[in-house]
Every structure is written in structure tokens, then in C-alpha cells.
Structure 1
Amino acid sequence: MQSGKPKWTTNSMIAGAGGGLIASVATCPLDVVKTKLQAQRFVQGQIGYEGIAGTIKTIAKYDGLRGFYRGLGPTILGYLPTWAIYFAVYDGIKSTFGEPPLGASSKSKDWIYPAAQVKGYQPAMREHPWSLHILSAMAAGACSTICTNPLWVIKTRFMTQSRDEIRYRHTWDAALTIYRSEGIPAFYRGLLPSLLGIAHVAVQFPLYEQLKIWAQGDSDEPLTSRTILLCSAIAKMTASVTTYPHEVIRTRLQTQRLPLADDLSSDGMIRRHSKRGLIYTTAKLIRKEGWTSLYKGLSINLLRTVPNSAVTMLTYELLMRHLSSRTP
């Protein structure tokens, strides 16, 4: 059984990266709209986006079709390692901590092997399925978040870049500009709320696993694509609504930036951008814009993340079936 772990880890990385790539390209326009809604700040007398329809019209009017794919490069660069790392760690922890008791057969009725079988993932232990899934989801989420946070900062900067200010020309230019003007810490802005957002996957993945168990029932047939999509959609929607505020706070923190040398205001002075932390940003947001501001862009986020997650999980499950069927 030990010899099989590298195989499943490799398969998990390939399947996870493939699912993330397809989903990120398909839902990028919705991601752009959601990010702009999250980043907009209430300023008295200033014209800004008024809602989903206004945001879409503004992007279409001034930026065209290309505007809906702004930030796609760092998004792809971010999703590929994010899902590859996530599923590898998720699968690895389940395989490690879900080993059968000493002397127990892997085919015993009291044991269901956790690696990806043709039917998809099964609970590692009937006695403690939720604890193992939550541990796996949270550890995998923390690893992927810490490793890829710089790419998400670049993505957010691209998507919220003003049409009147071309600050970043491409992904590498954005990385160099942020590094030279703001230093390494800038790439980890929003990391704390992102780590707090691990509660999202702690809700999503255990719920997804449980929904698949209920859908599977006593049948030995593989779950259909429609069933996988439905289980994933329900799990993602529940997790998104429950933990959404951390995304708004993260976006606000990631869009904080120091001025460039030529970043001048109308009176010729360098603009001052204050750097504030999680608590200050959250308190100011609630004080100035109310509690509802913590759910800015929720509807468009659900339109983006639910199909994104469904496509990702379906692609992952199908790739894992294909890879497992080809590997002896």
C-alpha cells in the first residue's frame, strides 16, 4: 500500500491542475466583475460602480471583451499550483492518516480505502469521516494559500487596475513593480484573511464527500457527472455563503499599495496610501459602508464559484478515474 502513495499524489496533482485550468478560463469574466465589486470603496461625490449590471456595462464600454479577461494570466498561474498543491496534500493526508488498523484488510466492511477509486473518493473511516476530511481540507488549504498568495495579489491588482492608469503591463512586470516599490511583504497582503478563509474548504470538502456518500447509497455504479456537479454545487454554495466576508476583506487588503515615483495627484503631490491591517480594515469597512458591505459581490461570486467548483471537481474526478484505470 505504501508504494501506491506517490502514484496517487502525482495523479492528484495532474487532475487538480487540469480541473483548475479549465474552470479558471471558463469563469474569468465573472471573477473580474466580482473583484471590482469587492474592491470599490464608497467615496462621497465619486462616481463608481453601482452594481453587477453597472460593472458589466462599464467594463464592456471602456475595455471591451478583453477587459473581462484582465488578470487571466496570473489567475491561470495561480490556479494551476493552487489546485495541484491542494489535491496532493488533501489526498496525501487522507492516505496517511486513513490507513487501515493493524491487521485489518483494506477490503473489510469496517474500512473504506481513501484513495481515488473509480467511484471517486470514499470516507477513510466510518467512525471519524468528518474529522479526517476537515483535517485534510484545512491543511491542504493552508499549504496552497501560503504558496500561491503572491499570484493572487498580482491577479487582484490587475483586475482592479483603473482604465486611466496602466500600472502593470503583464504578470512579470507587475511582480517586479510590486517588489521594487513595495517589497516582499506586499505579496502577502491579505494572507491572514485568506488563512481565516480556510474555514471555507473545511465546510466545502467534508460536505462534498458526505453528499457523494448519500448519493452513492448502496450502489456499486460510479456516480454520474450530473450527480458530481450537483454535490459540488451544493457544497460550494453552502461554504461560500457561510464564509464570504473574508474575501471582501482580503481584496481590500490586497489592493492597498504604495505610490510609485510618478503616482501624483491632481495637485502634483504623491498620493498617500495607508497600509492597515485586518482589524482596522474590517472595522472601517463596517463603519463607513455597513455590515452589508461584507457581502459585496456575493451574488456574482456565487455565479462564478459554483460553476467553477463544479467544473473543477467534475474534471478532477473524471481525470482521476482515467488515470487510475491506466495505472496498474
Structure 2
Amino acid sequence: MAAKEAEAAVVLPLRSTTQTKSSAMDAIEDILYGSLAGIIGKYIEYPFDTVKVRLQSQPDHLPLRYTGPLDCFRQSIKADGFLGLYRGISAPLFGAAAETSCLFFFERMGREAVYSSGFCPRDRLLPLPALWFTGAFSGAFTSVVLTPIELVKCKIQVPMGSGAAGAKPPQAPSIMSVIRDVYKHEGLKGFWHGQMGTFLRESGGCAAWFGAKETTTKMFHLLNQRAAKSQTEKDALATEALPLWQQAVAGASAGMSYNFLFFPADTVKSRMQTSPVGGTRQNRTFMQEGRALWHQHGLRGLYRGCGITVLRSAPSSAFIFIVYDGLKRHFPL
């Protein structure tokens, strides 16, 4: 009985729907602060993302051009210099702003949906399973916005024909040239080529992203309150933000969970979106591309580039959550 009372007394300052603030202000904060956090995170992770896409998109009918992430870094810097790893970053910066703002916006909409369903009273914080659901809800809707942006990004990061051994790399395509080529040969629907992969990655990955972050945050709050020496100190901890290092660990755990659990879907998506536009080969479906990769390289091929992706996601997601939560806490609109 005493244990239940102690557990009930624990108040966790997880992000929740604010009753005193209008929905419009919440939406503006999600868009503005989410965009800023996404841009900062993208600058940190982009060189690693370029390497990841190049590792994922190596043709299955040719010998592998890169033996691993370090070799890809070495060859890329030798060919284009370090700034070459930032090639095409303007589209991803826009994409990062759109993605992160959409993630936080739709995650809040998911919370509203859960509250409106009567699953949880509005005066109580959502349980962790509901927060994993709101993450999946957010990722599913965000995937529709994100697929065209990712398609343009991938085609810029891996120019057509760059995989041929010994061939001179072609001039990097511009954003507008990629958009024109896709629209000319495949029409408007061509921009959503790879949507299934993005949907699987975002819906599953964002469930893990938000869920892991909130789970780790809850764990730290419980540990901090149990270590408190007085009730006054426990009450203070209930309303304070976590120490910065604990916020960073929670954000890093989110990014690593997101990228590792659904990485095969991202690999298949990247291969679909880096296929030549207007070629004689008909675009493969998600299942066709996945089967071809599995038959050629097995499970290892589906996780090609995973290590570098999980590594770069830790600091990136940590910064995203620290910046977003900090702005929401200290600069409410």
C-alpha cells in the first residue's frame, strides 16, 4: 500500500497538452521551435547521412565501391573535399525543418486524439504506451510530407552513375534539375516514390523516437526523486527540467532507437530513391527492391550503413530535444 502511495505521489513533467494555452499558440511553437531544432540537428548529422546514403545505394550488380563507413569518408573527402559531404544540404535543411516541426505538431495532435477518445482524462499525463502510439501517429502523417524531400536529397547525395567503378563522377545535380527530371519522367506521383519505406521508417521509428525519449526521461525522474533527501526536494524535482546530461542521454536514446529498429526500411527506401530517373528499367516496388537486396546481400545488406547512422543520430537527436524542450520551457509564446 505504501509503495502504491509513493508511486502515485511521483509527478513527471513529461510534455503534455497545456490547457492555459491556445491550440494556435501550441501549433506555432511546434512549427517554429521544431524547425529550429531540426536545422541544428541536420548540420550535425548531414556528413554522416551522406555516407549512409552512399553505402546504402551501392548497386547490387557491381562490386562494392566502399568497404565501410571509414573508407566511404576517405574516398568522399579525397574526391570532393570535406565540404562535398555537405553537398545538397539546402534541401535537407528545409526537410529537417519540415520534418521536425511536423513530428512535434502531429505528436501533439496524437495526444489530443488520445485525450478526446476518453482513454485518459485530460488532467492526467498520458501513460508510456500511449506516448509510443502518439509517436507512431506523428510519423505516419509526417512521412507524406517527408518523402518528396528525401527523394530529392538522396538523388543529390548520390549522383546518377556514381556507382560505376573507375568512372569519372558526373557533375552534382542541383535541386531544381532533380525536380525537373522527376516531374518530366514520372509526373507528380514520382515524388512519392519510396513512400512505403518512409512510412514504415517514420511510423515505427517515431514510435521508438518519442517513446524511448519519454521512457528514459521517466526513468531519470524516478531515480532523481528516489535520491532526494526530503519531500521538499522531491516536490521541486517534480517541476524542474532534468539536468542537461540526462536530457542529452534521453534524446540520444531516442535517436539510436529510431535508426536501429527500422533501418532496413530506410535502406530499401534509399535504393528506390537513388535509382536513375527516366531509365529503361521500371521502378521497383518496395517489396521488389527489398527482395532483390535480400537475395544479393542478405541481412547484412539491409543494415549497410547502420553503424554510422546510429552513431550520428545520438548527438543529433540529443540536440533536437534539448533545443526544442528548452525553447518551449523558457520562451513560451
- TM-score by structure 2 length? 0.81
Residue 64 of structure 1 deviates from its aligned partner by: 0.9
Q: Does 1:177 align with 2:196?
A: no
Q: Does 1:242 align with 2:240?
A: no
CA distance in structure 2 between the partners assigned to 1:323 and 1:89 by the alignment? 21
CA contact (8 A) 1:258 1:272 kept: no
Q: Does 1:301 align with 2:306?
A: no
Aligned Cα root-mean-square deviation (Å): 2.3
For 1:207, which of 194, 202, 212 is the aligned residue? 212
Alignment match, 1:54: 71
Q: Does 1:76 align with 2:93?
A: yes
Residue 136 of structure 2 aligns with an amino acid whose one-letter code is M
- TM-score by structure 1 length? 0.82
Which residues of structure 2 form unaligned runs of 5+? 1-18, 163-167, 226-236
SS at match of 2:331: helix
Residue 275 of structure 1 deviates from its aligned partner by: 1.4
Residue 204 of structure 1 deviates from its aligned partner by: 2.2
More helix by share: 2
CA distance in structure 2 between the partners assigned to 1:230 and 1:3 by the alignment? 29
Residue 138 of structure 1 aligns with an amino acid whose one-letter code is A
Alignment match, 1:133: 131
Alignment match, 2:287: 279
Q: Deviations over 1:254-281 (max 9, x none)?
A: 112333xxxxxxxxxxx63331111111
Alignment match, 1:10: 28
Matched pairs, number:
292
Alignment match, 1:193: 197
CA distance in structure 2 between the partners assigned to 1:238 and 1:93 by the alignment? 20
CA contact (8 A) 1:258 1:273 kept: no
Alignment match, 1:263: none
CA distance in structure 2 between the partners assigned to 1:243 and 1:149 by the alignment? 16
Residues 1:32 and 1:100: Cα distance change in structure 2 (over 3 Å): closer
For 1:94, which of 89, 97, 111 is the aligned residue? 111
Q: Deviations over 1:130-166 (max 9, x none)?
A: 3421332122112211012111100000011136222
CA distance in structure 1 between the partners assigned to 2:259 and 2:144 by the alignment? 20
Residue 79 of structure 2 aligns with an amino acid whose one-letter code is Y
CA contact (8 A) 1:182 1:257 kept: no
For 2:151, which of 136, 150, 153 is the aligned residue? 153
CA contact (8 A) 1:256 1:274 kept: no
CA distance in structure 2 between the partners assigned to 1:3 and 1:225 by the alignment? 26
Alignment match, 2:169: 164
SS at match of 2:87: coil
Q: Deviations over 1:81-117 (max 9, x none)?
A: 111111112123324533797xx8x7xxxx44xxxxx
Which residues of structure 1 form unaligned runs of 5+? 113-123, 260-270
Identity %: 21
